Amino acid sequence: MDKPHFRHLFSPELREPVFVEGLPGFGNVGKIAARLLLDFVQAKLFAELYSPSLPDYVLVDKNGICRAPRYEFYASSTGKTHFIILTGDAQPSLDDIVAHYGLCGRILDFAQDHGCKFLVTMGGVPMPRPEGKVYVAATSSKLAVEIMEKGAVIYGGGKIMGATGLLLGLAKSRGWQGACLLGATTGLKADREAAFSVFKFLTKMLGTDVEKRSQGKA
């Protein structure tokens, strides 16, 4: 395998889906929040992405069954808002920056082919006292303020590392809109509480604005 390649399981019927990303990272907040969303919107696995920049090991489950590390794409079209949700086993090595850019580009191509124009990336941000806060950065000032008004704190003057940041930055330069939600976490272990705060805030945020956004366009 020299290049990332997709394995398609089925073709979902989606109407302007919101693209949501939650991959392993700080306090595992993004991945856990993505799992909570998956269950909540009854999303189904419809595509897998294998890549030579994911780790070169094989994962073995508790029954001894192995599989290569991958990214997973889930689709949900049951509610008013349709979703493509990305989660996965790992991210490329921090050293392999070029691979990371390439992989994020492929992911956005894929989501765009399915009609996505709006994304939410999710992750954790280290804070000494998390207090259940959710931080936000967005592709425009208007969007950042709208999300802040729903209870998030502006994440000002920093950097957002890895796919959670890079997907947002690359999507912006393609003309997408979107936001990153960061759950405050001490990051000492998998932080289910921070992930739940992000998940809860996401559903609240999408239950209103994004629905309206879709309706306005329709």
* Full DSSP string of 165-205: HHHHHHHHHTT-EEEEEEEEE--SS--HHHHHHHHHHHHHH
Residues of this chain that bind its own copies (CB under 8 A): 1-2, 7, 50, 52-69, 92-93, 95-102, 104-105, 136-141, 144, 148, 154-162, 165-166, 168-170, 172-173, 180
User: First and final CA of the chain: distance in angstroms?
Assistant: 42
91, 162 in Cβ contact below 8 A?
yes
Asked if residue 136 lies in contact with residue 154, where contact means CB atoms within 8 angstroms, the answer is yes
Q: How far is the CB of 78 from its own copies (least distance, A)?
A: 30
d(CA 129, CA 158): 18
| Nearest-approach distance from CB 202 to its own copies, in angstroms | 16
Q: At 153, is the secondary structure helix, strand, or coil?
A: strand
Q: Which residue has the tokens 């936001």?
A: 179
Q: CA-CA distance, 84 to 208, in Å (whole number)? A: 18
Closer CB to its own copies, 74 or 135, in the complex: 135
Residue 41 or 143 with smaller CB distance to its own copies: 143
Judged by CB, which is closer to its own copies: 82, or 100? 100
CB of 110 to its own copies, least distance (A): 14
Cβ nearer to its own copies, comparing 50 with 196 = 50
Q: Give the nearest distance from C-beta 178 to its own copies in angstroms.
A: 9
Nearest distance, CB of residue 162 and its own copies, angstroms: 7
Is 28 or 76 the residue whose CB approaches its own copies more closely? 28
